[in-house]
Copies of this chain bind each other. A is one copy, B any other.
Amino acid sequence: MHRINSRRWRPGDLIPGEVELAEEFGCARATVNRALRELADSGLLDRKRKAGTRVALNPVRKATVEIPVIRQDVEARGKDYSFDVLDRKELAPSAVLQQQYGLASSTQLLGLWTLHRADTMPFAYEERWINMAVVPEIADADLATLSANEWLVRNMPLLRGEFTFSAGNATGAESHLLNCPRDAAVFVVYRSTWVVDDAITAVRLVYGPGYSMKTVV
């Protein structure tokens, strides 16, 4: 890393092989391998068998975004977290959901509409459905005290998740709930979670104006 930083090895350069570096640094090859592997994982190096290791030319910068449970997000801001379940009902998947998530039309879904608050101020509005075929226990959970997100996180393992971040204009209902002007810019996160091939839950989260997500590389 120091040699990349000091530009002794410049982007695109071929660097010495593992054996050579191990000799130079007086350590085992496995140690060099781990170091180079970690630099490659973080995007600074490109490695190929036989071709060798090069300093990345187009470092597709990989940022690790921490997506906290909303409770933690709010509490990290020094505020008290609370939430209200605005509505809850069982429903069948729409045609779009059936196609997008591979759900049978007979699948029983639990729909939840929730407003999350920070110190009584609205923080984020959440629309969610949960696949009751995969998580039948959710029917008996008390989702008024422990949020659906936290219940799922504690009771289901995570296999695969997709996140999409975008910007949107607050609808009339959203602006009312989030206490912001209509059409104000809101940060929107879609998230779906799967176990193997089964969709467990999908969420649309709308954060009020001023919300930002920060990350460090």
- Return chain B residues, CB-CB under 8 Å to A214: 162-165
Known contacts A154-B11, A159-B5, A161-B217; is A60 also within 8 Å of B44 by CB? Answer: no
Q: Which of A83-91, A119-127, A139-147, A180-188 contacts B (4 or more CB under 8 A)?
A: A180-188
Q: Is A168 an interface residue (CB 8 A)?
A: yes
- Return chain B residues, CB-CB under 8 Å to A168: 167, 185
In the complex, the answer to whether B185 meets A216 with C-beta atoms within 8 Å is no
A154-173 Cβ-contact flags toward B at 8 Å (1 or 0)? 11111111111111110000
Q: Is A102 an interface residue (CB 8 A)?
A: no
- Return chain B residues, CB-CB under 8 Å to A217: 158, 160-163
Known contacts A184-B169, A185-B167, A185-B186; is A157 also within 8 Å of B215 by CB? Answer: no
9 A-B pairs with the lowest CB-CB distances in the bound complex, closest first: A167-B167, A166-B212, A161-B217, A167-B185, A167-B187, A59-B158, A185-B185, A169-B185, A165-B213
Chain A residues in the interface with B (C-beta under 8 A): 4-7, 10-12, 44, 55, 57-69, 72, 153-169, 183-188, 193, 195-196, 207, 209-217
